[in-house]
A and B are shown apart, each in its own frame.
Chain A
Amino acid sequence: DTEVTQTPKHLVMGMTNKKSLKCEQHMGHRAMYWYKQKAKKPPELMFVYSYEKLSINESVPSRFSPECPNSSLLNLHLHALQPEDSALYLCASSQDSGSYNEKLFFGSGTQLSVL
């Protein structure tokens, strides 16, 4: 199994809602990532988890809250988002985050619209 599975594929939420994005991989990877991608732009790194611990937070607003319950799962909890947060949210995983030539496996993303 070489897949990273993200759910839901699409999400529409109001600015007062609370929702969660989910990501799952069963490749035994120990590093997991959240990226944000605006239309016609490259992905931007948000968070990196290494061995289930948050290792990088790229100054992401607190309305985004990541969680890594175990080595296979990664969640992104959303609360009080703004319309400008509408984007494709991509999850990725790699064998390890400590090696700079790691290959990342990406999920298909969750297309989020904030109304």
Chain B
Amino acid sequence: AQSVTQLDSHVSVSEGTPVLLRCNYSSSYSPSLFWYVQHPNKGLQLLLKYTSAATLVKGINGFEAEFKKSETSFHLTKPSAHMSDAAEYFCVVSDQNSGYSTLTFGKGTMLLVSP
């Protein structure tokens, strides 16, 4: 069985300061891990994906995440927040389930960015 825990329901930062969104996972297999972002009243957009090629994954819009197997973590970071980064962020784990890819979503972290 797989699961995802996003440690913070809300994170507030000031524009220009670093962003850290925390995620821990549990998986029976070697998982794939994703971060998706959802802006208000929009669908989800993939930020980045880890599939065991490299532990540091770079995504779109300056975001990156580091896979740490020993800590079962996949935290999302960005050096400098922008107002447009304000959105809901979901950490997602995927492993094979009866031969089909199924995603398990974390509960989400709302990122608030103040001027």
Contacts and interface: CB of A to CB of B under 8 A. Distances in A.
Interface of A: 4, 6, 31, 40-43, 45, 48, 50, 55-56, 90, 92, 94, 97-109, 111
A106 B49 contact: no
Nearest to A108: B43
B90 A42 contact: yes
Contacts of B5: none
A40 B110 CA distance: 9
A92 B107 CA distance: 19
B100 A41 contact: no
Nearest to B44: A106
Q: Which 8 A-B pairs have the closest CB atoms?
A: A42-B105, A106-B43, A101-B32, A106-B44, A100-B96, A101-B51, A108-B43, A100-B101
Given A108-B43, A109-B42, A50 B100 contact: yes
A43 B91 CA distance: 12
B42 A101 contact: no
Contacts of B97: 100
Given A42-B107, A108-B43, A111-B41, A56 B99 contact: no
Contacts of A42: 90, 105-108
